[in-house]
Amino acid sequence: MRISKGEKWFYAINNMVLALLGLTCLFPLINTIAIAFSDTAAIETGQVTFYPVGWHTEAFVSLFKGTRIVSAFQNSIIITIIGVVLSMTATIMTAYPISRRIFYGRRFFTLAMVFTILFSGGLIPTYLVVKSLGLMNSYFALWLPALVSTYNMLVMRTFFENIPDEIDDAARIDGCSEISYLVRIVLPLSLPVIATLTLFYGVSYWNMFMNVLIYIHDTSRFNLTVLVQNMIQSQSLLQELLNSGVTSGVQSQVVPESLKAAGVLVVVLPMLAVYPFLQKFFVKGVMLGSVKG
């Protein structure tokens, strides 16, 4: 099909606008990277824009030697990995039954779960429930309230419904049980949506902030997001550096802005590193799981 001249102009303008919007999202990250690796004098005089001036890594040395960022990084990994495993298991075990047409009450349970998108219990009732269960200052206070995302569950349910009935019939003829059908046939066919929802859950747990502030009181159990936020807001990181015995030579070459930028990069880069491996599943998983037919 031949593209008209008007369509060519439309696509060109559309691509230009999208490119500009993409650059507006990319420029802050580039500026943060430049500040994290720039010289102190260049940062203080405002010379740093989108490339490092006077390449230095003292900010990262001070960050890892003088703060609890290593332990916070480990806490974030624990929260994310265990949280993703629990959430994906619960989402699969919820989405599969209500995707089966032979499941009695599937419409009622689906509507009940959709109802939670429109109306939730609220912050105070959730806090009281978590406290009554004795989960305060425990990571289960982070995992259980966020165990199943209704949106993610609906995406996975729709994906399961799109699997042809002929595959189910053939599996039944071969004597395949319900659990065996799920594990050996449905899940291997659902790798795109599983990878996509794993990314969704992973980003959610990695960036978890408010729940950590509410339910976790022990500062040694804070994740990266909370630690970096405290650092940016109260500049407590500099005080920790002064009390940690980091050499004065390194301290003199580090300014608060470079430490903050280094902390932000430590939070952001892991997700940026994981995304390219899941990108090929991303669009396919969302589209096949969100459109019926």
Most confident of 29-43, 60-74, 143-157, 237-251: 143-157
More confident residue, 132 or 253: 132
Q: What pLDDT does residue 80 have?
A: 92
Q: Name the average pLDDT for the chain.
A: 80
Q: What pLDDT does residue 253 have?
A: 58
Q: 3.30.360.10, 1.10.3720.10, 1.20.200.10, 1.20.1530.20: which CATH number matches 59-290?
A: 1.10.3720.10
Report the predicted TM-score, pTM, of the whole model to 2 decimal places. Answer: 0.79
Assess whether pLDDT exceeds 90 at residue 88. yes
- pLDDT-derived band at 250 (thresholds 50, 70, 90) equals very low
Q: Which one-letter amino acid corresponds to residue 11?
A: Y
Assess whether pLDDT exceeds 80 at residue 67. no
Task: Give, rounded to a whole angstrom, the gap between the first and last alpha carbons of the chain.
Answer: 26
Domain spans in the chain, listed from the N-terminal domain onward: 5-13+15-56, 59-290
pLDDT in tens, 172-224: 887 778 888 888 888 888 888 888 888 889 889 998 888 888 998 888 888 88
Q: What pLDDT does residue 236 have?
A: 55
Mean pLDDT of 66-86: 87
Q: What pLDDT does residue 241 have?
A: 57
Assess whether pLDDT exceeds 50 at residue 290. no
Assess whether pLDDT exceeds 80 at residue 154. yes
Assess whether pLDDT exceeds 50 at residue 292. no
Could you write out the DSSP letters of every residue in 120-138?
A: ---HHHHHHHHHHTT-TTS
pLDDT in tens, 94-136: 888 888 888 888 888 888 888 888 887 788 888 898 889 888 8
d(CA 187, CA 106) in angstroms, rounded, equals 20
* Token duo for residue 227: 């630690």
The number of angstroms, rounded, from the C-alpha of 95 to the middle of its chain's C-alpha atoms is 21
Cβ neighbors of 290 (< 8 A, separation 6 or more) are 155, 158
Q: What pLDDT does residue 289 have?
A: 46
Assess whether pLDDT exceeds 60 at residue 228. yes
Assess whether pLDDT exceeds 50 at residue 139. yes
Assess whether pLDDT exceeds 70 at residue 33. yes
- pLDDT-derived band at 245 (thresholds 50, 70, 90) equals very low
Share of the chain above pLDDT 90, in %: 9
* Token duo for residue 159: 């994906």
Contact 202, 84 (CB under 8 A): yes
Assess whether pLDDT exceeds 60 at residue 52. yes
Packed helices 256-290 and 191-206: angle between N→C axes, nearest 10 degrees: 150
